[in-house]
Structure 1
Amino acid sequence: MQKISTCLWFDGNAEEAVHFYMSIFKNSKIESIMYYGKAGPGEEGTVLSMTFQLDGQQLMALNGGPQYKFTPAISFFVSCESQQEVDELWEKLCEGGEKGRCAWLTDKYGVSWQIVPTALGDMLQDKDAEKAAKVMRAMLEMDKIDIEILKQAYAG
């Protein structure tokens, strides 16, 4: 068990969201489910919270109600090793959500994600400042990150 994990506050659809995320990320599982009892405040027998893993990362989903909403101030940063992985995660997480700029998207539950190829970080940290600047300029023009375009900017 992780000492620190993220808790996501949902408005009655935590279980649906957990199953959606688990369908996208490998190495995922539900660890535990807690239900509201007679004391409430939710309807007895409905999901209060779920502890789960996405690709080995422990998270919690809470059906807390409509008081709080997700914002892009907190996002999940997903490191991808290939364009295929970027494409797959981007398309699945965007389904019903909203595409953003520079690797950002908001899924259909309002959760923000950054789908980033590891190659981007490598190029941005290059000792050649001009190469890194070219990559940055290319990235700033993108929604979903395209590794081949980054490579062209890097080489150019």
Structure 2
Amino acid sequence: MSDAAAGAPQLISPFLWFHDGAEEALRYYVDVFPDSEIEEIQRYPDESLDPHYAGMAGKVISAWVRLGGVRFGALDGGPAFTLSEAVSFVVACRDQEEIDRYWAALSHVPEAEQCGWCKDRFGVSWQIIPADMGRLLQSPAQIQAMMAMRKIEVAALEALA
């Protein structure tokens, strides 16, 4: 039995730094992914308590959610750091219908779309791919076709097998 199945805490969890809007993003993700919930949200206290809180009162200092059963953390940290494509989250889909559904929900930056990668309206990068992607990339023709795709089209890759 895995630690997760036994109820042990998840050893490693991604933690997302948003300039602003962490709560909006997390609520959106909870709606997009099944088996998801907001576990807790803590807010910055009264900004008069510490100069680091200037302009942050009421924003998210720490939040924890489960998305598809995976624990994520997030905060509103201001503009010091930004999200980038250097880190993305893989959504392994059962079929084309599921790919299409997640793509419609998460892809909001057309210029960021390539090979199943997309970026949502909050700046988070996702890879929306078939769970059996390895099976669909057995030939050079399949790999070449995938590289030219924005959203992965399973039938087109299968036709090249």
What is the CA-CA distance between 1:92 and the residue it aligns to?
0.7
Matches of 2:131 and 2:40, distance apart in 1:
32
Q: Aligned letter for 1:74?
A: V
Aligned length: 147
1:63-142 to 2 correspondences below 5 Å: 63-94=76-107, 96-98=108-110, 99-124=112-137, 126=138, 132-142=139-149
Sequence identity of aligned pairs in percent? 37
Structure 1 runs not aligned, ≥5 long = 127-131
CA contact (8 A) 2:63 2:73 kept: yes
Matches of 1:152 and 1:45, distance apart in 2:
53
The question of 1:21 aligning with 2:33 is answered: no
**Runs of 4+ residues over 6 Å off in structure 1:** none
What is the CA-CA distance between 1:32 and the residue it aligns to?
1.1
Matches of 1:118 and 1:75, distance apart in 2:
16
Alignment correspondent of 2:4: none
What is the CA-CA distance between 1:123 and the residue it aligns to?
2.8
CA contact (8 A) 2:136 2:154 kept: no
**For residues 88-123 of structure 1, what are the alpha-carbon distances to aligned partners after superposition, in whole Å with 9 as ceiling and x for unaligned?**
0001101x4335110010111111110001232223
Alignment correspondent of 1:129: none
What is the CA-CA distance between 1:137 and the residue it aligns to?
1.2
Give SS of 1:60's match: strand
Structure 2 runs not aligned, ≥5 long = 1-8
Matches of 1:119 and 1:2, distance apart in 2:
25
Q: Aligned letter for 1:123?
A: L
Over the residues paired in the alignment, what is the CA RMSD in angstroms?
1.4
Matches of 2:67 and 2:28, distance apart in 1:
11
Give SS of 1:153's match: coil
